[in-house]
Chains A and B, each alone.
Chain A
Amino acid sequence: DIQLTQSPSTLSASLGDSVTITCRASRSASKWLAWYQQRPGKAPKLLIYAASTLVSGVPSRFSGSGSGTEFTLTISGLQPSDFATYYCQHYNSLLSFGGGTTVEFK
């Protein structure tokens, strides 16, 4: 199985900040990585798949990059609705999630 490690586990930021979350894979995940946003008490929402493909309707301030073993999710200009927990997920032959990164108000 591919293990995914997200960092940081918690990120403190202010409105308008740009933040980057990293997801590292224990071995190559190629480009088969997705990112989800989960607000408290809500179901996860798919933001990005194939490492960098933005889901239709997701604001363009969200972007993903990377391949192989290192991936990043960047939010450019934090909005109130962006304070949430973010998860990466590897897919292809097996499925696994990262441990999550919570973006909180500074």
Chain B
Amino acid sequence: QVQLVESGGGVVQPGGSLRVSCAVSGFDFETYAMAWVRQAPGKGLEWVAVTSYDGRLKHYADSVKGRFTISRDNSKNTLYFEMNRLTIEDTAVYYCARVGEVGLTSYFDNWGQGTLVTVSS
């Protein structure tokens, strides 16, 4: 069955960096676009980044553009999210999600369990 497992979350100081990962199994990773969606504590969902199946195309929400980088290694069935210049407002559970249809912008048909990133001094 489809599985997405995030890892790498933790506590980081403001201005710091962190990389989270998402290991996938149960489907042909290299044929699907993938995304990161975050949820601040007690808040709603916010899409933050998406990458095409081959990693060549990437889109970011304005809130993270220029600070965060989405990437993938299809040989390792793994999605990454490099987060730099973190602020308190970046504190959230970060979910990786599979894009459901061809293209970069679609619904998300499978989600990981999420990894918590806490930005605090």
Residues of chain A having any CB pair with chain B under 8 Å: 34, 36, 38, 42-46, 49, 55, 87, 89, 91-100
Cβ–Cβ < 8 Å partners of B37 in chain A: 44
Using CB atoms, name the residue of chain A closest to B111: A43
Using CB atoms, name the residue of chain A closest to B93: A43
A87 near B44 with CB under 8 A, answer: yes
Cβ–Cβ < 8 Å partners of A44 in chain B: 37, 45, 95, 108, 111
B109 near A43 with CB under 8 A, answer: no
Q: Which 10 pairs across A and B sit closest by C-beta, in order of nearness?
A: A34-B107, A43-B111, A95-B47, A97-B45, A49-B107, A100-B44, A91-B105, A91-B106, A46-B109, A99-B44
B44 near A45 with CB under 8 A, answer: no
Residues of chain B having any CB pair with chain A under 8 Å: 37, 44-47, 50, 95, 100, 105-114
A43-B95, A49-B100, A91-B106 known; A97 and B47 CB under 8 Å?
yes
- B83 → chain A, closest Cβ, in Å? 19
Cβ–Cβ < 8 Å partners of B107 in chain A: 34, 46, 49, 89, 91
A interface secondary structure, majority: loop
B105 near A43 with CB under 8 A, answer: no
With the chains together, A44 CA to B100 CA distance in Å? 14
With the chains together, A42 CA to B108 CA distance in Å? 15
- B49 → chain A, closest Cβ, in Å? 10
The listed residue (B46, B100, B112, B113) touching A46 by CB distance below 8 A is B100
The listed residue (B105, B106, B109) touching A55 by CB distance below 8 A is B109
Using CB atoms, name the residue of chain B closest to A33: B107
A43 near B113 with CB under 8 A, answer: yes
A43-B114, A45-B111, A49-B100 known; A87 and B45 CB under 8 Å?
yes
Given contacts A49-B107, A87-B45, 8 further A-B contacts (CB under 8 A): A44-B108, A46-B100, A55-B109, A87-B44, A89-B107, A91-B106, A96-B47, A100-B44
